[in-house]
Structures are given as C-alpha cells and as structure tokens.
Amino acid sequence: MFRRILYSRHKLDMFGYQIIFIKKKDRGFSAINRNSKESINKAVNRNTYYGFKRKVPFYKSIIRLTGIDISGKGVLDVSCGTGVLCEEISALYKPNPFCACDFSESCVNVTKSLMIPDLLCSVHDIYDPIDGKFDVVYCIETIEHLLYPQIAVKNILDALNRNGVAIITVPNGKLDTYEQHIHFWSIDSWKLFLSNSIDESVFTIETGFFHEHQMHLYARIIRKE
C-alpha cells in the first residue's frame, strides 16, 4: 500500500500536483463539501468582509504585482469573495469596465453592498467560460480550493485581451495547512502545474513568492501580441 502511495505521489508531481498529509482535528471533515456553493453561501456575511479587510496590505501587494496603471483598462476580479480587492483597486485606479464575479450569491451580495463606484458584480462559476475580454484579470487565493484548477486557469486566460495580464495567487503549500484547501503547491510544483496548463507559445509566465514570510505564490501571466 505504501509503495502505491509513493508511486501515485510521483506521478502527480510530474504534472505539478502535490500530495501533502495533514493531521486533521475532525475526521469527518470534507474540503470538497466545505468548498461547495451551499456551504460558502451559509458561511459568508458582512462579518466575513471585516475579516478580509484586515488583510489590506496583502491586497495592495497584489495590485503592485500587476505592474501597470490600470485606470481606463478593463479589469475583472474572478472569485471576488467579499470585494476587498475591488475596494482597494477603486481607491487607486478607475478601471473601465470594472467587473467582479463569484459563484456564491452571498459573496456577490456583500460585494454589492460596498457600493464600489462603477463596479459591476455578478454571479458566475469559475468553471464556466467568461463573457467578454479584459486587460487585467485577478484570481486571488481561489484555485487551491478547486478540484479542477486547470479549467479555471484556462477560462481566466481566455478572458484576456492581447497584452492582457492575469494575476493568480495561491498559498505557499510548504507552509499552508488550511483544511479547506485541496491543493498545496510548492514553488516548483506551482511552476510545473502552470507550465502543463498553459500554452507558452501564447502566454509568458512569471512566478515567485510574494508578501511577508513567503506565505504566498503568484503567477503573472501575459498574453502575447
């Protein structure tokens, strides 16, 4: 049995996935169930927003990763959660159009309640193709929750204009032990996952650590002309 586990782990590593064994307090815990729309809708409310609002420096560092002035550019925040990143973008820039989406009605309702100027926020599942094209697409701390993150990455990149920039972030799997996550990428497996998921004749990929103590990994992906 142990040999089978090692073999399976080796095969997954080849495609940019990692198996990490975590001691869980609750044996009945299911990350898949906790990531369902029903569970998220029940869990998210305005108090959730205040929790994320404490992470403003993190969101500002994400905006800096974009590397361009996004005023007047089409911007989309995919899986926007409670809208904190959108708030910080609005405080610094005036995107046009400025859009956000999430599969959770509760998240969308909280984001709409913030009354962010010119923001269009709607319910949308990341597994579905995105309508429209954008100059900048953000997807922050989301795909580690997904069974099929490669589908999400494809949809994000399909929504980019030429020379458009996508910023995708995930926790550093070497440090992350959050039970609601399904994937735990190291910097090496993160690069490999992206390389196997993205056509590098069409896109350039930059990866690295960011934020304090290397707690997070990022990908800055640019669609070529």
Domain count, the chain: 1
Is 6 among the domain residues?
Answer: no
Instruction: Kindly give, in sequence order, each residue whose CB lies less than 8 Å from that of residue 80, ignoring residues fewer than 6 positions away.
Output: 86, 100, 101, 102, 107, 108, 111, 121
Cα separation of 121 and 132, whole Å? 14
Which CATH number characterizes residue 200's domain?
3.40.50.150
> Does a structural domain hold residue 141?
yes
pLDDT, position 211: 83
- Collapsing DSSP to helix, strand or coil, 11 comes out as helix
Q: Look at residue 5 and tell me if it is in a domain.
A: no
pLDDT tens digits along 148-186: 999 999 999 999 999 999 999 999 999 999 999 999 999
In this structure, is residue 98 part of a structural domain?
yes
- C-beta of residue 167 within 8 angstroms of C-beta of residue 219: yes
H-helix or E-strand containing 156? helix 149-158
Percent with pLDDT over 90 in the chain:
84
Least confident range from 27-36, 58-67, 143-152: namely 27-36
Domain membership of residue 61 as a residue range: 24-223
Q: What angle do CA 184, 189, 191 make, to 5 degrees?
A: 120
Question: 161: number of CA atoms within 13 Å, CB side?
Answer: 11
Is 131 a domain residue?
yes
